[in-house]
């Protein structure tokens, strides 16, 4: 997979001050924290300097809390020990929310929207009408001058 790093799992910041940034997960253990020496630096005052650790194993992405003060949360459950992550999981560290996107097994996009069955409680969006192409030999209706509309007495 090293020759195709774009196939490695991706962590995307979905909530917090760094929203929109993404980090690839590799086989080496990466420390997530607010210390400048962390492998993945997250600017959030509610994170510990060395908050959590993430890495890619043969079975998937693994996450471990490093004894942080505010804890590491996986899908609204505080984790203890090593947890395996799946595509679409939400990891919360302090006030920062990360979404897991694993292109090898993806059922979501990088931000976490599902690719499942279409919702039945909404009407489909209709396309906007497209102007008809000009007909040869017919003069188009000239547009009304904006200045004439603006200067017309009311």
Judging by beta carbons within 10 Å of its beta carbon (0-12, 13-18, 19+), is residue 48 exposed, middle or buried?
Answer: buried
Longest Cα–Cα distance in the chain: 78
- Give the pTM: 0.65
Q: Which of 56-65, 94-103, 114-123, 124-133 has the lowest mean pLDDT?
A: 114-123
Q: What is the pLDDT of residues 11-47, one digit of tens each?
A: 999 888 888 888 999 899 999 999 999 999 999 999 9
Of 116 and 101, the one with more pLDDT: 101
Give yes or no for residue 1 having a pLDDT over 50.
no
Do residues 69 and 18 make contact, with C-beta atoms less than 8 angstroms apart?
no
Residue 24 CA: distances (Å) to CA of 6, 29, 67, 121: 8, 12, 23, 36
Question: pLDDT tens digits for 58-83?
Answer: 888 999 999 999 999 999 999 999 99
User: In this predicted structure, what is the pLDDT of residue 87?
Assistant: 87
Q: For residue 128, which phi and psi values (nearest 5 degrees)?
A: -70, 145
Q: Is the dihedral of CA 80, 85, 86, 90 positive or negative?
A: positive
Please tell me what DSSP assigns to residue 127. P
- Split at pLDDT 50, 70, 90, the class of 123 is very low
CATH classification of 10-104 is 3.40.1130.10, yes or no? Answer: no
pLDDT, averaged across the chain: 78
68 beta partners:
none
């Amino acid at each position: 997979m090293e020759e195709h790093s774009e196939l490695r799992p991706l962590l995307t910041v979905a909530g917090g001050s760094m929203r929109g940034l993404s980090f690839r997960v590799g086989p080496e253990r990466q420390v997530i924290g607010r210390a400048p020496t962390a492998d993945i630096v997250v600017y959030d005052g509610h994170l510990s300097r060395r908050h959590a650790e993430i890495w890619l194993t043969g079975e998937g992405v693994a996450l471990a809390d490093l004894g942080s003060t505010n804890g590491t949360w996986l899908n609204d459950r505080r984790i203890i020990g090593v947890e395996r992550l799946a595509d679409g999981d939400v990891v919360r560290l302090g006030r920062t929310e990360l979404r897991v996107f694993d292109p090898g097994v993806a059922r979501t996009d990088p931000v976490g929207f599902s690719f499942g069955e279409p919702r039945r409680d909404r009407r489909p969006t209709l396309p906007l009408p497209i102007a008809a192409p000009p007909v040869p030999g017919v003069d188009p209706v000239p547009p009304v001058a904006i200045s004439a509309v603006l200067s017309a007495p009311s």
